Structure 1
Amino acid sequence: MALLSNIVGFSLFGLATRFGQLGIQKRNLFDNPGGHIIAMAVFGYGGYWAYRWDQRAAVLLAMKREEIRERRVQAGTTGDA
C-alpha cells in the first residue's frame, strides 16, 4: 500500500506542477490532456523510484548496523554505557 500511495502522491504532484506551469503561461488548463498524462507518468515513476530507493537504503542500513554490532562484539565492547 505504501508503494501505491507513493506513486499516486507523486503523480498528483506532477499534475499540480503541470497546472502550475500552464497557469504561469496563462493557458487553458484542459487544452491538452496528453501533457497532463505525461507529467503524471513521469512524476509517478519518480515516486516508484523514490520508494525503491528508500527500501534499498533500509536494507543497506540494517546490514551496516549488523556489521558495526559484530565489530563491537569482536572488540569486546557492547556500547551499553
Structure 2
Amino acid sequence: MSMLANVVGFSLFGLAARMGQLGIQRRNPMENLAGHAIAMSVFGYVGYWAYRWDARAATLLGEKRAEIAERRERSLAAAEEADS
C-alpha cells in the first residue's frame, strides 16, 4: 500500500472518529473545524508512522531471513564435513 493511501485512510478514520465523538455528545459537527483538522493531522501522522514502521519491519525481516539462510548453509556444510 502506498504511503499516501495509508496517510489519507488514517486521516479519514480520524475525521470519522471526531464526527462520532461529536455525535455522541450531540454537538454540532461544524462547530469547531480546527478540532477536525487536529484529529485528521494526528491520525494522519499515525498512518505515516505505521507505514514507516511496516517498511522498516520488512527490511529487518529480510535481513533476518538472509542471516538464517546463511547459518543453515554453514551448518549443513559443517555436518557434511563432519560425516566425511
One fold, TM greater than 0.5?
yes
Letter of the 1:34 partner, please give it. Answer: A
Partner of 1:21: 21
Q: Which ranges in structure 1 are unaligned for 5 or more consecutive residues?
A: none
Percent identical among aligned pairs is: 66
Deviation readout 1:19-73 (Å, 9 max, x if unpaired): 0000000000011000000000000000000000000000000000000000000
Larger-gyration structure (1/2): 2
In structure 2, distance between residues paired with 1:5 and 1:30: 26
Letter of the 2:30 partner, please give it. Answer: F
Q: What does 1:1-81 align with in structure 2 at a 5 Å threshold?
A: 2-76=2-76
Q: Which structure is higher in helix share?
A: 2
* Structure 1 stretches of at least 4 aligned residues deviating more than 3 Å after TM superposition: none
**How well do the aligned residues superpose, as a CA RMSD in angstroms?**
1.1
After TM superposition, the score normalised by the length of structure 1 is 0.93
How many residues align? The count is 77
Q: Which ranges in structure 2 are unaligned for 5 or more consecutive residues?
A: 78-84
